[in-house]
A and B are shown apart, each in its own frame.
Chain A
Amino acid sequence: MTDEGIEIRVGIAEGAILRGKGRLVTAGLGSCVGVVIYDADGRIAGLAHVMLPESPPRETRAPQKYADTAIDWLIREIVEAGGCPLRLRAKYAGGAQMFQGVKMEALRVGERNAEAVKKRLADRGIPVMASDVGGHQGRTLWFDLPSCVLTVRTARGETRAL
């Protein structure tokens, strides 16, 4: 399964940038969303493990945590690393509702996360090449460079390549 190159693991509410050859991984997404923005020709990609839809009103010290600031952070970091703004594309997955049968606003955060990611990417003019959101199962994801394939695996062992 492993490609050549390095593997970077991204924790909850964290983000990372990869150049060249390798893999970005994030494990155990429930209502969080894993967002990847990449420049395929420039071989640069970034992954953020987004936890909440909106950043607080004041400037945040944890931009990777919120959908709006995480996407802006990814764009800035990728462009600084040499990525071309016009070539940026996105793939994302997650935003499940893990606990069913209870009507609680708190449990709908997955859906709101996925919507916020979609909206911010549209606002920034970044085309979405693939996404896999919703449902009631956790996901582990990895994104490979240079292939730019995002692989999603659920706890039941199902694997999808996006």
Chain B
Amino acid sequence: MNSYELSSADLDALREFGNIGAGHAATAFSALVGGVVRISVTDARLCRFAEVVDVVGGSDAMVVAVYIRIEGEIAGNMFVVLSTESADRLVDELIPGREHGRPYGEMEYSALGEVGNILSGAYVAAIADLCGARLTQSIPAVAIDMASALLDIGLMYGSGEDNQVLLISTRVTHGGREIQAHFFLLPDFDSASTLFQILRGKMPSD
């Protein structure tokens, strides 16, 4: 297999899969910051590379990303992506007495990493449970830079010869504090067939 061959039923199943993961992550997020957290409908589709970074504002957009590598029967890369404004509000919330707008130090990076860890942990646990698969996640890594520079590892491992990746994305919004985060899950190209085999077994095929 050197390119993806998917039916609309496959994409529906994938959307449901992402919804379940993101739903659990949103619950964890709500427990962390308090208040109501809303999630968008999960988008699951095959994307050209440029479309992936367009979701978060284009290749030059400055964003904060937490990266988590998922290994196991289904391997892939997960990113929790925040605009710099959302990340600022989030660290203000997490670090009591922080002076707003202060340059990020170890404390800010570690707080963002921990959020990524908790959210992706809930997401990964939910999908592992759903698929009956054993999945492990790496410790989180945080970086602030141009969106495409940060996401390119996901594109590398997620694409076959036709330069398309399977992107499962959900937007999570904390209304009260206007914190918005995007979950990106990009299954490895080599794991996609296993993932669909599992999902096809779980969902009605027509």
- A residues sitting closer than 8 Å to B (CB atoms) are 11-13, 27-32, 51-52, 56, 60-62, 65, 96, 98-102, 104, 106-107, 109, 136-140, 155
Give the chain B neighbours of A32 by CB distance below 8 A. 152
Contact B145–A98 (Cβ < 8 Å): yes
Residues of chain B contacted by A27 (CB below 8 angstroms): 59-60, 146, 148
Check A98 against B150 for contact (C-beta < 8 Å).
Answer: yes
Q: A98-B143, A99-B142 are in contact. Are A12 and B152 (CB under 8 A)?
A: yes
**Residue in contact with B149 in the complex, picked from A30, A52, A61, A104, CB distance below 8 Å:** A30
Q: Are A31 and B60 in contact (CB under 8 A)?
A: no
Complex contacts, B153 vs chain A, CB 8 Å: 30-31, 98-99, 106-107, 109
Closest-by-CB residue of A relative to B163 is A13
Name the interface size band of chain B.
20 to 34
Q: Which of B138, B141, B163 is close to A100, meaning CB atoms less than 8 Å apart? A: B141
State the main secondary structure of chain A at its contact with B. loop
Interface residues of B in 1-53 (CB under 8 A from A): 2, 49-50, 53
Besides the known contacts A13-B159, A96-B149, A109-B153, 19 further A-B residue pairs in the complex with CB atoms under 8 A apart: A11-B49, A12-B50, A12-B148, A12-B155, A28-B53, A28-B60, A28-B146, A29-B148, A30-B146, A30-B151, A52-B156, A98-B143, A98-B145, A100-B141, A102-B69, A104-B69, A106-B77, A138-B146, A138-B150
